[in-house]
Amino acid sequence: MTVSASDFRSAMRQMAAAVNIITTVHEGRRAGMTATAVMALTAEPAQVAVAVNRANASFAAMAASGVFAVNILPHGAAFLASVFAGAKDLSGAERFAHGSWDTLVTGAPILADSVASFDCRIVETVGFSSHELLVGEVVATRLSPGGSPLLYIDGSWANIVRTTDAEFDAYGRLIDTVSDALDMAIGSAASPREQLCAFSRGFAALSVESADVLRHFHLQEIFIPASRLEAINARKREVEAKIRALLIRGAEAGEFDVVDPAITTDAIIGMLNSVHRFPDLAAQDSGAAVGRTFGDMVIAMVSRR
């Protein structure tokens, strides 16, 4: 017993894939289609394969020309993907009115702002039911360093957006500012309670002022290279260690009721970090006002009753 086509498609919809435009040129006429069924075969020789439905209007042009190009679409190119998927009622050469196109070696159209393009000559074809697997020897490539691909999953477009060096540095400076503010608070002659309150208010106020930096970074954090993210996390751990030490001193002084300083530290940072998730709150009040609110909440969390 085999799985039904409907069940198969439903399951495959969960497989995120890069969105590509496969192009060709035959007797001077360009043709192209949107596809996700693209795979790398071998590196030596460099070969890729594309699964194309024989009923697709572009298939005949590819088979006749013996060449094709794979153009990995950049994020934000969903409209172009829709054009070449036939959703805009355009066909054949009409589709190339959208996007900027040139060529490499074979003459197959190359998208100027693709994340990467593979210019190929067909070296083998393999039939599978309604589709033909076109195996192409890659004769030229073009890469846009740092580009982020458009993805397709569960019937929707999706993006991987990488953080830039400038954005990464801005977030790093923000962590340093938080650390400096904590050093200033705990270096004062005030009580542990007053020190924690001053730091919490300053942290929350800074989060309001830097909400755009925080939102942008947290959205992209998962796509930052691990080595760079570890450097940021090391600086965060230094801040956490200082807060834990402050909580322990406050508990020893009888000002704080803290059973587990590590867990309490995580709760405090989680609360203060959440400020940027409430844009309406930041819009209604100044950073200082929001800082007072969150600072009072932190103190209420740890104070001995």
Report whether pLDDT(1) > 70.
no
pLDDT band at 279 (very low <50, low <70, confident <90, very high): low
Task: Report the pLDDT value the prediction gives residue 285, as an integer from 0 to 100.
Answer: 56
pLDDT, one tens digit per residue, over 198-218 is 999 888 888 887 777 776 666
Average pLDDT over residues 31-36: 95
Q: Share the mean pLDDT of the chain.
A: 87
Report whether pLDDT(223) > 80.
no
Looking at per-residue confidence, does 148 or 101 come out higher? 101
Report whether pLDDT(122) > 70.
yes
Q: Are 57 and 68 contacting, i.e. CB atoms less than 8 angstroms apart?
A: no
Task: Report the pLDDT value the prediction gives residue 71, as an integer from 0 to 100.
Answer: 98
Task: Report the pLDDT value the prediction gives residue 226, as an integer from 0 to 100.
Answer: 66
Looking at per-residue confidence, does 90 or 33 come out higher? 33
- Give the DSSP letter string of the chain: ----HHHHHHHHTTS-EE-EEEEEEETTEEEEEEE--EEEEEETTEEEEEEEETTSHHHHHHHHH-EEEEEEPBTT-HHHHHHHTTTTS--GGGGGGSS-EE-SSS---EETT-SEEEEEEEEEEEEETTEEEEEEEEEEEEE-TT--BEEEETTEEEE--PPPHHHHHHHHHHHHHHHHHHHHHHTSSS-HHHHHHHHHHHHHHHHHHTHHHHHHHHHHGGGS-HHHHHHHHHHHHHHHHHHHHHHHHHHHTTSB--S-HHHHHHHHHHHHHGGGG-HHHHHHS-HHHHHHHHHHHHHHHHB--
Task: Report the pLDDT value the prediction gives residue 136, as an integer from 0 to 100.
Answer: 97
Average pLDDT over residues 116-127: 96
**The two structure tokens encoding residue 283:** 């819009």
Report whether pLDDT(280) > 70.
no
pLDDT, one tens digit per residue, over 85-116 is 998 888 889 999 999 999 999 999 999 999 99
| Furthest-apart CA atoms within the chain: distance in Å | 86
Average pLDDT over residues 275-281: 64
Average pLDDT over residues 53-67: 94
Task: Map 107-124 to HEC letters.
Answer: CCCEECCCCEEEEEEEEE
pLDDT, one tens digit per residue, over 281-290 is 545 557 788 8
Task: Report the pLDDT value the prediction gives residue 28, as an integer from 0 to 100.
Answer: 93
Q: Decide: pTM greater than 0.75.
A: no
In terms of average pLDDT, the best of 77-91, 130-144, 149-163, 191-205 is 130-144
Looking at per-residue confidence, does 174 or 27 come out higher? 27
